[in-house]
Homo-oligomer: A and B are copies of this chain.
Amino acid sequence: MRPPKLTLVGAGPGDPGLITLKGIEALRTADVVLYDALANPALLDHAPQHARKIFVGKRKDLHSATQEEINTLITSLAFKYGHVVRLKGGDPFLMGRGGEEIEVARAMGIETEYIPGVSSALAVPGLAGIPVTHRDVSKSVWILSGTSSSGGVTEDLKLAARSSATVVILMGVSTLQEIVSIYTSEGKAGLPVAIIQNGSTESQRSVSGRMSNIIDLSAKAQIAAPAVIVIGDVVRFLDPSTKEATHSENKNQLR
């Protein structure tokens, strides 16, 4: 019997080539892999044949495991089989509830390890042609979740809309109208915004425009989750048409 262990592995943004060497090493010694909807299933091929591969992702209209059920699974499978690899899209500690999984396992005396991953929040904009920071344009990036545990967007988004940071919103497609209305009430209807669906994969699609027309554009393009929303002047590197108006508007913003 192997000693119980939990390794959180960041699977990266979707492209199976964007996992790390250490992530693959962990998969090679897995007895169980618990994987997310956002982790590419092709990565399961790195795990041994004998390893149990269990899908625990959240998918619309299907029963999906609750976080409590996942926490229980991790613990019981680690004691039963040994090395449990928890394969999570992006990085396990960015909106991934990896912190909770580590806490629960440790409380049960299980050894834990964290192997970071390439975060969708930075890589998906970059692969779509948008550097999240750029010396002349934006010097910081604020990453938020589009949905808070209480439903709507988080309070911090109002502060983010006032900042000059590049704002990246994960899981925000369903709250797009609320996001747009926050920016509009801050006088930023002209701010460039892009939405990138299935970033880093062959089915990557994106739309870009301004706050004032992004709801229409994304509806026409039928953009759906999973998607990353990028807000700020750096969007002009993907869509140069957003450049000029932004510039004059920015002067007002910065006053």
Q: Which residues of A contact B (CB under 8 A)?
A: 10, 12-13, 15-22, 24-25, 91-100, 102, 114-119, 122-123, 125-127, 131-135, 139-145, 148-149, 154-156, 159-160, 162-165, 234, 237
User: How many copies make up the complex?
Assistant: 2
A156, B134: Cα distance in complex, Å: 15
A20-B19 contact, Cβ under 8 Å, with A13-B116, A94-B141, A135-B97: yes
Contacting A116 at CB < 8 Å: which of B24, B118, B148? B118
Pairwise interchain contact A131-B93, C-beta atoms closer than 8 A: yes
Pairwise interchain contact B135-A139, C-beta atoms closer than 8 A: no
Query: Would you list 15 pairs from A and B whose C-beta atoms are within 8 A, ordered by A residue?
Result: A16-B21, A18-B21, A20-B21, A21-B21, A91-B118, A92-B126, A93-B125, A93-B126, A96-B133, A116-B122, A139-B154, A140-B144, A140-B145, A140-B160, A142-B143
Pairwise interchain contact A133-B18, C-beta atoms closer than 8 A: no
A91-B123 contact, Cβ under 8 Å, with A18-B22, A20-B20, A100-B135: yes
Known: A91-B126, A94-B133, A139-B156. 5 other contacts (CB 8 A): A12-B20, A20-B20, A91-B123, A99-B133, A119-B119
